[in-house]
């Protein structure tokens, strides 16, 4: 089935799951699954440009992932730095800007420095946006928003009876980014896993048994085809 260019989702979010299982199935260390998974990130980013997806948000490292073995975390952080160095030229070539949501201050100094460099260098691009959710948890994000709103109320800048859904949304990490139209989860798990809980209230969900290291352009296109077959009513009956 050919894609309808008029029905391409503007924003796709992905829970990249299955790296560890992919490696275990092959008798490899878990970090190998993450390394191959980085190739899937590159493939999907290229597919977004090809098909016309404006925003891509990737759940790269959750706030809960800090409980993983220290050796695995070190490997993931090293891989993230390597990815940023190697991917930067493609962001430039495609005029895609990089942004981060989450508690970036939790990351190692070297990783933050690399992130800040690429974010600054790509900030002016307008042909696409890659958002990396790093040390991110949606409940923490909502809590941070509530805390910021409460501080404005305390200071007299905001009246409680004027708080709306738009007020809350405006205090999230990326308030200018449209909510995801499509949320993809790989590896067959039917969980949102504390990812963009507010923003995904009306996102179309697509779960595939494909493990993330095997998820490339063809799998991404299949998700878009599935999405285009949905009828989005947003609570209505039309």
Cα 140 from Cα 205, distance rounded (Å): 22
Per DSSP, the three-state class of 206 is strand
Cα 3 from Cα 226, distance rounded (Å): 10
Cα of first residue to Cα of last residue in the chain, in angstroms, is 25
Among 4, 17, 106, 194, the active-site one is 17
17 as an active site residue: the answer is yes
65 as an active site residue: the answer is yes
Cα 186 from Cα 209, distance rounded (Å): 6
- The answer to whether residues 149 and 158 touch, using CB atoms and an 8 Å cutoff, is yes
- The answer to whether residues 38 and 90 touch, using CB atoms and an 8 Å cutoff, is no
Among 19, 39, 54, 65, the active-site one is 65
Give catalytic residue positions: 17, 65
């Amino acid at each position: 089935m050919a894609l309808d260019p008029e029905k391409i989702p503007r924003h796709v979010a992905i829970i990249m799951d299955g790296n560890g299982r992919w490696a275990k199935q092959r008798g490899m260390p878990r970090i190998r699954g993450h390394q191959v998974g980085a190739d899937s990130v590159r493939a999907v980013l290229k597919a977004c440009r090809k098909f016309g997806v404006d925003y891509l948000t990737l759940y790269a490292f959750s706030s809960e992932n800090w409980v993983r073995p220290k050796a695995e975390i070190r490997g993931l952080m090293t891989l993230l730095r390597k990815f940023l160095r190697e991917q930067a030229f493609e962001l430039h070539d495609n005029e895609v800007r990089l942004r981060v949501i989450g508690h970036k201050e939790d990351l190692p100094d070297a990783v933050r420095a690399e992130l800040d460099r690429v974010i600054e260098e790509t900030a002016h691009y307008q042909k696409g946006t890659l958002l990396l959710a790093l040390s991110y948890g949606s409940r923490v994000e909502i809590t941070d928003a509530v805390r910021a709103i409460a501080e404005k109320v305390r200071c007299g800048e905001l009246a409680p009876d004027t708080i709306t859904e738009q007020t809350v949304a405006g205090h999230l990490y990326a308030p200018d980014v449209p909510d995801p139209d499509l949320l993809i989860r790989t590896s067959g798990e039917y969980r949102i896993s504390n990812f963009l809980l507010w923003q995904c209230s009306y996102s179309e969900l697509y779960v595939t048994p494909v493990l993330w290291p095997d998820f490339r352009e063809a799998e991404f296109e299949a998700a878009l085809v599935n999405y285009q077959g949905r009828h989005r009513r947003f609570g209505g009956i039309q």
